[in-house]
Amino acid sequence: MASVLVVEDDQFVRSALIRHLTDAAHTVRSVGTALEALREVAQVGFDVVILDLGLPDLDGAEALKMLRGLTDVPVIIATARDDEGEIVRLLNDGADDYLVKPFSVEHLSARMAAVLRRSRGTEASRVLRVGGLRIDVLRREAVLDGTALDLTRREFDLLSFLAARPGVVVSRRELLAEVWQQAYGDDQTIDVHLSWLRRKLGETAAKPCYLHTLRGVGVKLEPPRDVDDGR
């Protein structure tokens, strides 16, 4: 069972989604505009948002960017648009999955289950420690030398994925597949997130402390040379 926000302006589609999701034992709230969705997300905690792109007040792509400024809640795009370039852009902008209308309720339920499994974490019981880093996967909290790190959802996923493999070089293709859940994508997306993550870890690419890039090979996370992480 999950708490779901349906953002859909078509009353027929909206009613059908509410009925089927409620029958599947989910708790459902619904709105018909982007601004209503932003207000709901700001005031109510949801497990997942199902977002249409063709909203009357604001395009769903812009609504997604605004949602990402408020919360890390998983977002499934549900729309009639099937342009591959737009799908890639939306996934890079923070969408967790993308469904093209028409789709079956069973298909939506399966996608929701997969997104919720990823967001809740398959390693939920683990606390990862690398040097001065402590990462609580269940609570989605990261601490460096006793100071909490303010990470976005994607930054946390990237950091925890690398921290679960300390010292192991991970290829960009694997990062795209496992962290971004994409079979293809732009390497620049990874570079940007690594740059943001380095800044929050107090390091730079020129003077790495935890994050090390091996040109043409991949990325690895390991404790600073002068830090014993207890392994």
Predicted pLDDT of residue 183: 66
Residue 185, pLDDT score: 64
Q: What is the pLDDT along the chain (231 residues), one digit of tens a residue?
A: 788 999 999 999 999 999 999 988 888 999 999 999 999 988 877 889 999 998 999 988 899 989 888 888 899 999 888 888 888 889 888 899 999 888 888 888 888 888 887 776 544 447 888 999 999 887 789 999 999 999 998 899 999 999 988 888 989 888 888 888 776 666 788 889 999 999 999 999 899 999 999 988 899 999 987 644 444
Per-residue pLDDT at 121: 55
Is the CA virtual torsion 182, 187, 193, 194 positive or negative?
positive
Instruction: For each of the domains in the chain, give its residue range(s) and CATH number, in order of start.
Output: 3-120 (3.40.50.2300), 127-221 (1.10.10.10)
Helix (H) / strand (E) containing 221: strand 218-221
pLDDT at 133: 94
DSSP three-state, residue 153: helix
53, 79 contact by CB (below 8 A): yes
CA-CA-CA-CA torsion sign (23, 27, 32, 33)? negative
